[in-house]
């Protein structure tokens, strides 16, 4: 039954498709203040799962959660010159509070290096207090001129890790560990997105950083999305905020600080990496709702009862399931709606199948159907969810590989990168080459070792630059 598609096809207009998914799957809406967003319950439940998985990995890496204020004195921002230059244009400033003009305006945090630096300086006395590994889950505000839901919003939710280390080497190792063991591991294993890791070119660094490492993913249209970053801040903030410690020999030393973050932007990455023309596709390990048990129709309550039993069995086996027994609503509409929302597996329980003791499993990733015995479902589903998880990852990887081109010249790279990722020797990208790429809105997303690792040094001779269009 061919119907008018609910969503604009991706091939026709990818940005409109994205907007359609946000609306039709009831994921998010624009807020009343320009650039802000409302995250609706279905999407927020997915974000909660992201938080849970990332938070667990952060804690395993030894960092502790804390909370620092939303409001930062304007003077703090100005203490680190590059930092204030980078963030000034995006700041939201409170000038009136409690019915009065404030003596010193306060800034709504765009990021918290400055305010956390102030407290690190108080809390760190000796080498025994290091490393100090802090993280916070919070909202931040950066005034956006061209907002786009989840990808670039005036207010977004994120975690920001802020650490102080005794040595540069320790700071570097920890920042790289976060990128590897927290971000990349989460993105590959849970989001099912085969991210690249690498180092940002100097001009793409965080404002105030000496080194920025990033995870970069390819979206369904071949463009790149920066999914998370981990920064070495050198002694810039330690100098600005006087973050010092007494070393083992009794000397005062400046700390080396790092910061790292992922945000609700990952929700945009999820949609654009896995979504298809029928809507969102959520990888099972991430999904807040893995299985929907759908009552096809029911005349006497027996189908609903069987579906309930099945649901309870699945829930008892640790599957995140729910039942849809709204038989007053046409089955097709409900099925389409769960497809839109990207629930990994749909179990259709209908009177005819049920008479034979069977139900139908429908995979969201492939639309593949299988009819299985009622008593086999609980034994089948967990493994099938893992199959779906791998299939989504592999599909994203295949796309990335099919759209990644090894290039020997800048012109080749410029051509390839309009459709996907161009890999080109980093040493070749002098200022003129970067300028040439910039004319086609192409940027270096990250610099890697030839086998895709983090380079020891940015100017290692065999480093490879990944060039692409980016969100």
Which is nearer to its own copies, 134 or 468 (by Cβ)? Answer: 134
The angle at the Cα of 389, spanning 375 to 310, to the nearest 5 degrees, equals 20
Which is nearer to its own copies, 11 or 66 (by Cβ)? Answer: 66
Q: Which stretch, 41-49, 224-232, 409-417, 461-469, contacts its own copies (CB under 8 A)?
A: 41-49
Task: Determine the straight-line distance between the first and last CA of the chain, rounded to whole angstroms.
Answer: 36
Listed residue (262, 54, 260) closest to 174, CA to CA: 260
Q: How many CB atoms are located within 10 Å of the residue 253 CB? A: 16
Does position 46 interact with its own copies (CB under 8 A)? The reply is no
Does position 202 interact with its own copies (CB under 8 A)? The reply is no
Give the torsion sign (CA, 120, 123, 124, 130).
Answer: negative
Which is nearer to its own copies, 99 or 431 (by Cβ)? Answer: 99
Q: Could you tell me the smallest distance in angstroms from the CB atom of residue 248 to its own copies?
A: 13
Does position 64 interact with its own copies (CB under 8 A)? The reply is yes
441 torsion bin: left (phi>0), alpha (psi -120 to 50), beta (else) = left
**Strand duo 64-65 + 132-141: pairing:** parallel
Does position 388 interact with its own copies (CB under 8 A)? The reply is no
Q: Which stretch, 7-15, 34-42, 273-281, 425-433, contacts its own copies (CB under 8 A)?
A: 34-42
Q: How far apart are CA 384 and CA 373, in angstroms?
A: 15
Q: Max Cα separation, the chain?
A: 82
Cite the beta strand spans of 210-313 per DSSP E.
211-218, 224-232, 244-246, 252-254, 256-263, 291-295
Q: How many CB atoms are located within 10 Å of the residue 316 CB? A: 10
Q: Could you tell me the smallest distance in angstroms from the CB atom of residue 56 to its own copies?
A: 12
Does position 99 interact with its own copies (CB under 8 A)? The reply is yes
Q: Is 331 helix (H, G, I), strand (E, B) or coil?
A: helix
Span 111-130, contacts to its own copies by CB under 8 A: 115, 118-119, 122
Among 14, 18, 76, 174, binds its own copies (CB under 8 A): 76
Which is nearer to its own copies, 3 or 100 (by Cβ)? Answer: 100
Q: Are 137 and 252 in contact (CB under 8 A)?
A: no
Q: Which stretch, 37-45, 191-199, 276-284, 294-302, contacts its own copies (CB under 8 A)?
A: 37-45
Q: How far apart are CA 119 and CA 372, in angstroms?
A: 59
Binding footprint of its own copies, residue count (CB under 8 A): 53
Q: How far apart are CA 44 and CA 377, in angstroms?
A: 29
Does position 250 interact with its own copies (CB under 8 A)? The reply is no
Q: Which stretch, 131-139, 193-201, 229-237, 409-417, contacts its own copies (CB under 8 A)?
A: 131-139
Among 69, 301, 357, 453, binds its own copies (CB under 8 A): 69
Q: Could you tell me the smallest distance in angstroms from the CB atom of residue 256 to its own copies?
A: 21
Q: Are 109 and 232 in contact (CB under 8 A)?
A: no
Q: Are 343 and 290 in contact (CB under 8 A)?
A: yes
Does position 25 interact with its own copies (CB under 8 A)? The reply is no
Q: Could you tell me the smallest distance in angstroms from the CB atom of residue 266 to its own copies?
A: 14
Q: Could you tell me the smallest distance in angstroms from the CB atom of residue 464 to its own copies?
A: 37
Q: Are 142 and 87 in contact (CB under 8 A)?
A: yes
Does position 431 interact with its own copies (CB under 8 A)? The reply is no
Among 12, 16, 56, 66, binds its own copies (CB under 8 A): 66
Does position 389 interact with its own copies (CB under 8 A)? The reply is no
Among 6, 19, 61, 73, binds its own copies (CB under 8 A): 73
Q: Is 36 helix (H, G, I), strand (E, B) or coil?
A: coil
**Strand duo 252-254 + 244-246: pairing:** antiparallel
Contact set with its own copies (CB under 8 A): 29, 31-33, 36-41, 44-45, 47-48, 64-73, 76, 88-99, 105-106, 108, 115, 118-119, 122, 134, 138-139, 141, 143, 145, 154-155, 157
């Amino acid at each position: 039954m061919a119907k008018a598609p609910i969503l604009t096809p991706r091939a026709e207009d990818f940005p409109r498709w994205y907007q359609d998914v946000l609306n039709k799957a009831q994921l998010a809406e624009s807020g009343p203040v320009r650039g802000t967003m409302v995250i609706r319950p279905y999407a927020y439940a997915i974000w909660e799962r992201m938080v849970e998985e990332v938070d667990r990995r952060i804690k395993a890496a030894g960092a502790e959660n804390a909370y620092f204020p939303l409001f930062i004195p304007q003077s703090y921002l100005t203490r680190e010159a590059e930092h204030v230059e980078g963030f000034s244009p995006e700041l939201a400033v409170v000038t009136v509070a409690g019915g009065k003009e404030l003596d010193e305006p306060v800034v709504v945090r765009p990021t918290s290096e400055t305010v956390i630096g102030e407290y690190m300086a108080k809390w760190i006395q000796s080498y025994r207090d290091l490393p100090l590994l802090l993280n916070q889950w919070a909202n931040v505000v950066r005034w956006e001129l061209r907002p786009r839901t989840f990808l670039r919003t005036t207010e977004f939710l994120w975690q920001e890790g802020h650490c102080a280390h005794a040595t540069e080497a320790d700071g570097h190792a920890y920042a790289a560990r976060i990128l590897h063991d927290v971000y990349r591991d989460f993105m590959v294993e849970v989001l099912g997105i085969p991210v690249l890791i690498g180092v940002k070119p100097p001009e793409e660094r965080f404002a105030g950083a000496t080194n920025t490492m990033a995870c970069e993913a390819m979206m369904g249209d071949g463009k790149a999305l920066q999914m998370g970053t981990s920064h070495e801040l050198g002694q810039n903030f330690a100098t600005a905020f006087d973050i010092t410690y007494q070393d083992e020999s009794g000397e005062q030393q400046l700390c080396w600080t790092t910061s790292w973050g992922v945000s609700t932007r990952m929700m945009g990455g999820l949609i654009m990496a896995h979504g298809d023309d029928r809507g969102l596709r959520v990888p099972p390990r991430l999904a807040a709702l893995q299985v929907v048990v759908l009552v096809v129709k029911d005349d006497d309550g027996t189908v609903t009862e069987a579906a309930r039993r099945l649901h309870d069995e699945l829930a008892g086996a640790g599957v995140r399931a729910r039942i849809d027994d709204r038989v007053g609503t046409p089955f097709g509409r409900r099925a389409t709606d769960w497809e839109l929302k990207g629930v990994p597996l749909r179990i259709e329980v209908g009177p005819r199948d049920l008479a034979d003791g069977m139900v139908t499993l429908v995979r969201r990733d492939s639309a593949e159907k299988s009819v299985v015995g009622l008593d086999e479902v609980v034994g089948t589903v967990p493994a099938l969810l893992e199959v779906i998880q791998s299939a989504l990852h592999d599909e994203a990887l295949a796309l990335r590989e099919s759209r990644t081109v090894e290039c020997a010249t800048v012109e080749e790279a410029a051509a390839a990168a309009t459709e996907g990722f161009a890999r080109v020797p980093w040493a070749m990208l002098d200022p003129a080459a970067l300028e040439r790429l910039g004319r086609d809105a192409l940027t270096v997303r990250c610099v890697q070792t030839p086998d895709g690792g983090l380079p020891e040094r940015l100017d290692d001779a065999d480093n490879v630059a990944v060039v692409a269009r980016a969100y």
